[in-house]
Structure 1
Amino acid sequence: MDVPPSPPTRPGLLSSLLRWGVACAAMPPLLTPALLLGPVSPGASDALMRTWCLWARRVFGVDVEVVDHNEGRYDASSYLFLQLNQTSLSETFVTPPALPRPVRIFMNIEYAALPFAGWVPWAQGSTVVVRQWSAQARRAVDRAAQALRAGASYYMSIEGRRSEDGRLNPYRKGAAVLAIHSGATLVPMVFHGARDVLPFGEWRVRPGRVRVELLPAIPTEGLRYEDRDALVERLRALAQARGLE
């Protein structure tokens, strides 16, 4: 009989402080240039961000496996990489190197305020949304859709916030509306183990393994606004088929 793996052990206080110190010490030399390059050379800025993420993974002892069901074939003009389960701040350094191309982020104002982690994507042209301000949120969706139609790719969470207990939050329709309005190809993403290495409300990162699945791409050409509910249901069914509830 298979025995489920035990959860990663929380490291000690001094060890955690040391690891955070080492990870953060690399931010100014790598991410200050990334911040400055963001508006003029997003690709170079993205490369520096990915470098810091790989450094943070190594410092914290987090191994990441990427399973790409599209086998690296991304030939469409624009993609919306859509995270189906958001559970942990560890996704901040797990996600960028797992993506097959540079992206902008559709992010809330709280994330945009994070030093470097939020500033650099904002400098690269990412879209900031204030969800409590419905008119601003609608304008943000329109701006992102325009950028997608112009050939940019985006990354966003369909839940819009982290789950406290690991269960799926209600799915927001904005992601489906954005994909339909822009005609971008959807790439659903599922994360396994991110919450284990950094649970909600914790700051001590546990060494462990995270698996990121890029599920088969979903074209949205021909879909209409009236199809948004069915698309959201289809995406949630994909998450549930991966053992998420």
Structure 2
Amino acid sequence: MAQLSPLERWVLTLLGTIGFFAIWQGVAASGLVSHNALPTPAEVLATAWQLSFEPFAGHTLLQHLAASLGRFAMGFGLAALVGVPLGLAMGRWRLLDDIVSPIFEMLRFVAPLAWVPFAALWFGTGIGGPVMVIFAGALPPCLINAYRGAKLVEPRIVEAAQVLGASGPRIMAEVLLPGSLPSIVAGLRVSAGLAWQSLIGAELIVASAGIGYVMVQAQSNLAPSIVMAGMLAVGVIGLALDVALRRTETLVKARWGQA
């Protein structure tokens, strides 16, 4: 099958987006679904624009988004700072792998939202609760991909570094990290998506500000257009994060000759 040009991809993307909103408009305007359950796209966009300037649930939509992005940055950053070095170290030292793997393999199957009750008990509605839930969702891809990347580094390269006198931390920083970088960036992309989803879920329960909190308050006030405006904002921010990390992944793979 012939490869599509960048222009053809953009056209198909545009047609798909137009088709989605056309179907949404048609269903909302048909009367098959109550207007209280499904507002039209124009109403949702108008509501999103209005919320950008008029406070709802204590803040404007942009301020709620800023609060959500702050929590996301802390939880995702903490997961990367813990998961990547730990994954590289587990790939390097078998003893550490044997110690950590059983616990990690058990905990990584616990859904991030299962930590919400503990987050609420330990942190209340403060910033710690959502950050904890985000960390739980974002950590596994960071650790697993760093571990796999370290395992793919040629052993003879590590041995050569040891012969030249490189210590354990230096081998990790100058051999394993560069050799694992494509795998690490791919893991960060997956991790960011899970972190963003975990954030919204946490904010539905343990937050007093943020886009998830907006959606809960809108549901309580029977305001579906605000709920969907929040969902639209979540989708747009998530797409932007994925596009940025996808571009980074492509650049890293091209740099390391894996494109």
Task: Give TM class, smaller chain.
Answer: under 0.3
Where is the helix percentage greater, Structure 1 or Structure 2?
A: 2
- TM-score, structure 1 as length reference: 0.27
Higher Cα radius of gyration: 2
- TM-score, structure 2 as length reference: 0.26
